[in-house]
Amino acid sequence: MTDLPTVALLGTGAMGAGMARNLAAAGIDLRVWNRTPERAAPLADVATVAATPAEAVAGADVLLTMLYDADSVLEVVSGLGDAIAPGTTWLQQSTIGVAGTNQAIALAEELGLVLVDAPVLGTRKPAEDGTLTVLASGPDEVADHVAPLLDAIGSRTLWLGPAGAGTRLKLAANAWVLTVVEGLAESLALTRDLGLDPALFLDAVQGSAVDAPYLRLKGEAMLSGALDPSFALSGAVKDADLILAAARAAGTELAVLPGVREHLARGVEAGHGDRDMAATYLAH
């Protein structure tokens, strides 16, 4: 397995921890770091837990970032200094928006890194199961280099062109996800407020053309209160802001997303930010 790259994974939160275990299971030599050390420590059985980002990346062939937002990604990578060698592949998988990705492209050029912009579709469970969809974009010549990593964390990889294309498609996909979650919350709330058991909505659409596994998964979470985060509500608000910023820059008029963002933010303001994004239902 010596032909596999050595990987430094920075960010072992809800997504990064599952990705780390799948990378290690594929035989990849892995170092991990997290800003909160307690979240990286459980990975000591499959990876080298580094005390600093610089310690993690020293001698690594691939830097993989799975951090919360653009500020954290840019701060950590720009602080690596001489610890990361020019020519290292930077697999940037955090959701950081168009502006953040443009800054990452500039930073990669400054540091001499080869940037692969490759955000993922999926939440905690797909990350743990290795069934994420990877939206990869970057130089064609590094596709084979990172293929073992992408195969380990995902069930499907789409190569989309130059770096930045992955992020753009991720935002479009997340716009749909957030719309579905908020629309579901509103339909359940309306069913309830019209004097019916809200579970009847899920029964009514079951097996129809508008049914979907995701609809039932989130609907049952909303009604049961089983809201351990697969993707936190606060993260959904962050992504909604990234989508709206990208739409403004592109000149796209979005009629639905501003209202979706307002309702998601209402849930955060009500104290549900650390719960799953299905907790938007609690604010209705």
All structural domains of the chain: 7-162 (3.40.50.720), 168-283 (1.10.1040.10)
pLDDT beyond 80 at 160? yes
pLDDT digit string, tens, across residues 97-112: 999 999 999 999 999 9
| Average of per-residue pLDDT across 142-147 | 97
Share of the chain above pLDDT 70, in %: 99
What mean pLDDT comes out for the span 182-189? 98
Model confidence band, residue 157 (pLDDT cutoffs 50, 70, 90): very high
- Token output for 183: 């629309």
Contact 237, 266 (CB under 8 A): no
User: Mean pLDDT throughout 33-42?
Assistant: 97
pLDDT at 69: 97
The first and second tokens of residue 31, run together, are: 């170092």
226 burial (CB, 10 Å; 0-12 / 13-18 / 19+) is exposed
Quick one: average pLDDT of 152-169?
98
Tell whether the model's pLDDT for residue 2 goes beyond 70.
Answer: no
Side chain identity, residue 240: A
**HEC readout, 21-90:** HHHHHCCCCEEEECCCHHHCHHHHHCCEECCCHHHHHCCCCEEEECCCCHHHHHHHHHCCHHHCCCCCEE
Pseudo-torsion of CA 50, 54, 58, 63, nearest 10°?
Answer: 90
pLDDT for the residue numbered 240: 98
Look at residue 77 in the predicted model and tell me its pLDDT: 98
In the predicted structure, residue 200 carries a pLDDT above the cut 90:
yes
The answer to whether residue 44 scores a pLDDT higher than 50 is yes
Q: Is the pLDDT of residue 1 over 80?
A: no
Mean pLDDT for all residues in the chain: 97
Residue 227's φ and ψ, nearest 5 degrees, are: -120, 30
Q: What is the pLDDT of residues 64-119, one digit of tens each?
A: 999 999 999 999 999 999 999 999 999 999 999 999 999 999 999 999 999 999 99
- State yes or no: pLDDT of 265 exceeds 70: yes
